[in-house]
Amino acid sequence: MKGLPPVLITAIVLVAGFALCAMQFPNIASTRVVGNLLTDNAFLGIVATGMTFVIISGGIDLSVGSVIGFTTVFVALAIERWGMPPLVAFVAILVLSAAFGAAMGAVIHVFDLPPFIVTLAGMFLARGASFLLSTESVPITAPVYSTVSDFALRMPGGGRLTAIAIVMLAIVIGGALLLRLTRFGANVYALGGNRTTASLMGVAVGKMTIKIYMLSSLLAGIAGIVFSFYTSAGYSLSAVGVELDTIAAVVIGGTLLTGGQGSVIGTFLGVLIQGLIQTYINFDGTLSSWWTKIATGVLLFAFIALQQGLVALARRPVVKSAGAAS
């Protein structure tokens, strides 16, 4: 039951926003636009799923944008220059990014450092490493890329559910199940609720921290692969600032930045809200893209203020219900 009210509010905002947009531009309410919305935000949805785990556990991961950038460059170079088969390249980068996340988690836990600054170092490291690989945009011409890009499930109304959108939906559903139904998910909530209590209850805090950051970096790696499919290129400057969009999506989705509460579905809705704003601005044509930033900022403020209010309300009565659900 945790985190249900904020998710409901996010859903209401999304539906109301969609209705408002559809009233002004009736064409928005088509499967074609919805399909594009899912495709354009596929990488964001994947990386935001990982970020949800990190934030619920009381941490933050600033390195995801850089990991995406590194992945696109690595995949492009591996396939085009080093002659690796695409699948091998994908496996290699996923192992690499998972190891990277595990290393960050280990540093955070072993040296007892704030996640904020450790992942900041990770952000510099991954971005710097991708610059080292190549500063130019490397186009990917492997046949797999055109096959996958052309693949799409037809939806009624002419919309296309592309392969990368399907991957994103699968990861969102998988993430939601992992968080809700498994011991791992319960431990994530426990860590975010109170680290000391969790440790006393028998949660292996160190292992969990490493696993959570590993998951986040792994999903960032997958998002990077998806991004390389989306752009058919690897570029060291791609996905700069995505960590902010991701955190914004997670917060708008009703996850508490202090940890302990939140849901993957909410995050998914948050991603869709950001995508909807972008779509509206594209449809309008006269508004510049910076309105996206302002609108996102306003939404961020509204949701954080709302959370703050809910937390204040929750603290007022007896502290009986605090640890009831998990």
Site for another protein, rule CB under 8 A: 60, 107, 110-114, 116-118, 120-125, 127-129, 131-132, 135, 236, 244, 247-248, 251, 257-258, 288, 290-294, 296-298, 300-301, 304-305, 308
Residue 161 CA: distances (Å) to CA of 31, 32, 39, 57? 9, 9, 7, 32
Is 192 in contact with 260 (CB distance < 8 Å)? yes
Spatial separation of the C-alpha atoms in residues 33 and 278, rounded to whole Å: 12
Nearer to another protein, 30 or 134 (CB): 134
Query: Of the two residues 17 and 206, which places its CB atom closer to another protein in the complex?
Result: 206
Q: Smallest distance, Å, CB 308 to another protein?
A: 6
C-beta closer to another protein: residue 146 or 258: 258
Q: How far is the CB of 143 from another protein (least distance, A)?
A: 31
Residues 6+ apart with CB under 8 A from 50: 61, 64, 175, 215, 216, 217, 218, 219, 220
CB of 270 to another protein, least distance (A): 13
Q: Residue 82 or residue 124: which is nearer to another protein going by CB?
A: 124
Q: Output 61 or 164, the one with its CB closest to another protein.
A: 61
7 alpha-carbon distance from chain centroid: 16
Minimum distance from residue 49 beta carbon to another protein (Å): 20
For the chain, helix (H) and strand (E) counts, in that order, are: 14, 4
Least distance in angstroms from the C-beta of 294 to another protein: 4
- Measured from the CB atom, the residue of 70 and 90 that comes closer to another protein is 70
Rounded to whole angstroms, the Cα distance separating 159 from 125 reads 40
Q: In the structure encoding, which two tokens stand for residue 139, read together?
A: 């186009």
CA 46/CA 214 separation, integer angstroms: 14
Residue 140 C-beta: closest distance to another protein, Å: 21
In this complex, which beta carbon is closest to another protein, that of residue 166 or of residue 304? 304
Residue 243 beta carbon to another protein: minimum distance, rounded to whole angstroms: 10
Strand partners, 138: 234
Q: Least CB distance from residue 182 to another protein, whole Å? A: 28
User: Tokens 């996905």 correspond to what residue?
Assistant: 239
Q: Which is nearer to another protein, 129 or 271 (CB)?
A: 129
Which positions ≥6 away from 115 have C-beta within 8 Å?
54, 59, 60, 61, 108, 213
Query: For 248-260, b where at least 16 C-beta lie within 10 A, e where not — what string?
Result: bbbbbbbbbbebb
Pairing of strands 138-139, 233-234: antiparallel
